[in-house]
């Protein structure tokens, strides 16, 4: 069964460093999302992407964040200068669209900023 | 903003019993989805119920939706130790294909 994949599973970085989190959505899906979950808290929406552009973003998704779909399969989230409070689990999700609204999530990348 | 909120926050039952978790939300929705998360792991999609549906089944799962009360319930029948996880409801907006808003989840423990 097709699934969303994410790499790496765990990323440790120093404060101020740039990180890129990678996702491969399900191949025929058209809508892509990034969410994050700080330990012990709710899953929070960051950004959605459709037709090669951002369709929605939350207040969390400030200028330090960017997303890209560099080719037909990858979907990346970049954090330019990480802060301690960026430590969280980051989930990528995708859905097919066209009335098919189930969002399927990847296994997540645990980002630890030290 | 709309928000899925589950109750109870934690539920502990014996294997073989049924587990019921509830979710409430604030604004109109297109769909409501339930997810499971094992500790520190990813979110597994369980079931989606559309706003024009009242009940849906999938295996041992039964989901109901009452849009007049803005609430949903997830029933797991004949629970197993492997059902131990956190369960979240997530709502989207009226138009679908939109960001999901998650509740805080219910932590279910099934004791063998």
pLDDT computed for residue B54 by the predictor: 97
Of B52, B78, B48, the closest CA to residue B63 belongs to B48
Confidence check: pLDDT of A13 > 50: yes
Chain B interface includes A74 (CB < 8 A): no
Average pLDDT score over chain B: 90
Distance CA A87, CA B94 (A): 32
- Tell me what percent of the residues of chain A surpass a pLDDT of 90: 83
> In 3-state terms, what secondary structure has residue A86?
helix
Q: Tokens in use for A104?
A: 């399927």
Q: Which residues of A touch B105 (CB under 8 A)?
A: 42
Of A48, A104, A107, the CB nearest to B41: A107
Q: What region does B10 belong to: left with phi over 0, alpha with psi -120 to 50, or beta? A: beta
| H or E segment to which residue A30 belongs | none
DSSP string, B22-38: EEE-SS--SEEEEEEE-
Task: Please compute the mean of the pLDDT values over residues A18-32 and round it to a whole number.
Answer: 95
State whether residue B6 sits within 8 Å of chain A by CB.
Answer: no
Q: Measured between CB atoms, which of B33, B99, B104 is closest to A33?
A: B99
Q: How far apart are CA B74 and CA A98, in angstroms?
A: 26
Q: A9, A38, A43: which to substitute to probe chain B, counting the most B Cβ within 10 Å?
A: A43
- Give residue-wise pLDDT tens across range B63-88: 999 999 999 999 999 999 999 999 99
Mean pLDDT in chain A? 94
Chain-chain contact of B45 with A33 (C-beta, under 8 angstroms): no
Tell me if B105 and A104 make a contact (CB, 8 A cut-off).
no
User: How close is the nearest chain A Cα to the Cα of B10, in Å?
Assistant: 13
Q: What is the pLDDT of residues A36-73, one digit of tens each?
A: 999 988 899 999 999 999 999 999 999 999 999 988 78
């Amino acid at each position: 069964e097709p699934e969303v994949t994410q790499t790496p599973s765990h990323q440790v970085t120093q404060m101020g460093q740039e990180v890129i989190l990678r996702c491969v959505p399900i191949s025929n899906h058209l809508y892509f999302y990034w969410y994050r979950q700080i330990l012990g808290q709710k899953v929070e929406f960051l950004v959605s992407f459709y037709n090669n552009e951002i369709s929605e973003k939350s207040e969390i998704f400030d200028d330090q964040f960017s997303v890209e779909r560099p080719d037909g399969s990858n979907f990346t989230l970049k954090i330019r200068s990480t802060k301690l409070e960026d430590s969280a689990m980051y989930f990528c999700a995708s859905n097919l669209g066209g009335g098919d609204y189930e969002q399927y999530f990847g296994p997540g990348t645990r980002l630890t900023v030290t | 903003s709309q928000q899925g909120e589950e109750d109870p926050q934690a539920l502990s039952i014996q294997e073989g019993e049924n587990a019921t978790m509830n979710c409430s939300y604030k604004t109109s929705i297109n769909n409501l989805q339930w997810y499971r998360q094992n500790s520190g792991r990813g979110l597994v999609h369980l079931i989606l119920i559309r706003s024009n549906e009242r009940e849906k089944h999938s295996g041992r799962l039964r989901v109901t939706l009452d849009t007049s009360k803005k609430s949903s319930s997830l029933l797991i029948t004949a629970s197993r130790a492997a059902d131990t996880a956190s369960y979240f409801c997530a709502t989207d907006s009226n138009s679908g294909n939109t960001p999901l808003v998650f509740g805080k989840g219910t932590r279910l423990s099934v004791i063998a």
